[in-house]
Each structure stands twice: as C-alpha cells, then as structure tokens.
C-alpha cells in the first residue's frame, strides 16, 4: 500500500515539475525578502478601480517579485451590493481570503456565501463573479500565475467616467479575461 502511495505521489508531481521547468527555476522565488506594512502597497500605488467596481487594491506581492508566478493584492471593497461581471480568466487560477465583511461568490453554477476567515478557489476557465454583501468588506486575492492583473488594475484606475459594457469587455479581453455574463445581484 505504501509503495502504491509513493508511486502515485511521484507520478502526480510530474506535471508540477514540468510546469516549473518551463517557467524557470526561480518562477516562485524572490532573491530577497521584503515587508509590505499594513495599509501600504508594494510600490506605493493604491489602485482605485472605477467602472467595474470602486474597490481599492494594493499590491502586496507583485508578479515582478515572482518572475510572473504569483501576484497578491489586498482589496478594500467599496462597492456595497456590487461586483464584477461574470467572467473567466483564461490562464490564471484565483484565490480569495475574506478578512472583513461578507460576499457571495458564484463559481460555475455554485453559489458560496463567504464571511471572515473563509477561503475560495476559482479555477482558470471557470466562470465566476462575486458581490459584496456588507457596507465594509476586505479580502486578500491572489492570481497564479500573475498574468497581467497589475496592468488591468492600473488601466481601470485611470478611467474618469463610467465605461460602457463594450469598454469593460475590451479591457478584460486585453488582460486575458473574458466577460461571459452580468454581475451577480443581491437578493
């Protein structure tokens, strides 16, 4: 029995090792450690999204730190009863950890109510969206690989007027995402 477990573990790890080899040996490593203090962003830029949501995002770990392997943000949610449209990430897995407030997530056809301490995993190519259910809310969100999410937030923080649905879909597409439906509604 132990031999079968060992063999299945080794065989199961082959795809991971293959992926790491294609990404480079330092894909998930930094050359030096760093600290990002509470309330601050990795490079001092607070992205204030406009149009999709009005959320504030602070980079905590940049794709630049991980050779594109991972990006981590702290999101202060400022859009009560709002959230992004139903969408997919073509090449990234997404993970949320709720710090404060409540959310509802849709992943595929499933709905999940989330509260502080809850974690949710959103696999790439699976439609998902969320809605903020409380006035105050905050999450940690990560993308693996990092993709172009930092650029996405930089673009949306530059909008000065509410964008059209076509503009939103275009910016999503420019950053390896696809809008596949409307935002969730609070019921």
More confident residue, 51 or 89: 89
Q: Say how far apart CA 51 and CA 36 lie, in whole Å.
A: 27
Choose the weakest-confidence range: 22-36, 120-134, 143-157, 160-174: 22-36
Sequence ranges of the domains in the chain:
37-183
Structure pTM? Answer: 0.81
- Report the 10 Å Cβ neighbour count for 7: 10
What pLDDT is stored for residue 172 in this prediction? 93
The angle subtended at Cα 56 by Cα 55 and Cα 57, nearest 5°, is 115
What pLDDT is stored for residue 161 in this prediction? 83
Domain boundaries 37-183, CATH class: mainly beta
Asked if 51 contacts 168 with a C-beta cutoff of 8 angstroms, the reply is yes
User: Which parts of the chain fold into alpha helices (H)?
Assistant: 2-23, 149-156, 165-174
Average pLDDT over residues 176-185: 95
Choose the weakest-confidence range: 25-29, 53-57, 66-70, 75-79: 25-29
pLDDT higher than 50, residue 26: no
Residue-wise DSSP of 62-92: -TTTTTTS-EEEEEEE--BT--PEEEEESS-
What pLDDT is stored for residue 2 in this prediction? 54
| Highest mean pLDDT (candidates 62-66, 123-127, 155-159) | 123-127
What 3-state DSSP class applies to 162? coil
pLDDT in tens, 1-14: 555 544 444 445 44
What pLDDT is stored for residue 1 in this prediction? 53
What pLDDT is stored for residue 98 in this prediction? 98
pLDDT higher than 90, residue 31: no
């Amino acid at each position: 029995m132990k031999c079968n477990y060992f063999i299945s573990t080794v065989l199961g790890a082959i795809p991971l090792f293959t992926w790491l080899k294609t990404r480079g040996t330092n894909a998930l490593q930094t050359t030096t450690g760093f600290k990002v203090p509470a309330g601050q962003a990795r490079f001092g830029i607070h992205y204030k999204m406009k149009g999709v949501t009005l959320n504030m995002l602070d980079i905590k770990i940049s794709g630049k730190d991980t050779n594109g392997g991972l990006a981590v943000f702290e999101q202060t949610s400022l859009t009560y009863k709002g959230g992004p449209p139903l969408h997919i990430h073509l090449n990234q897995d997404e993970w949320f950890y709720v710090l404060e407030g409540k959310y509802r997530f849709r992943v595929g056809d499933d709905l999940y109510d989330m509260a502080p301490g809850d974690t949710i995993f959103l696999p790439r190519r699976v439609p998902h969206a969320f809605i903020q259910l409380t006035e105050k809310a905050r999450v940690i969100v990560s993308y693996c690989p990092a993709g172009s999410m930092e650029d996405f937030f930089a673009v949306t923080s530059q909008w000065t007027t509410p964008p059209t649905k076509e503009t939103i879909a275009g910016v999503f597409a420019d950053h390896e995402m696809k809008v596949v439906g409307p935002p969730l509604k609070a019921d």
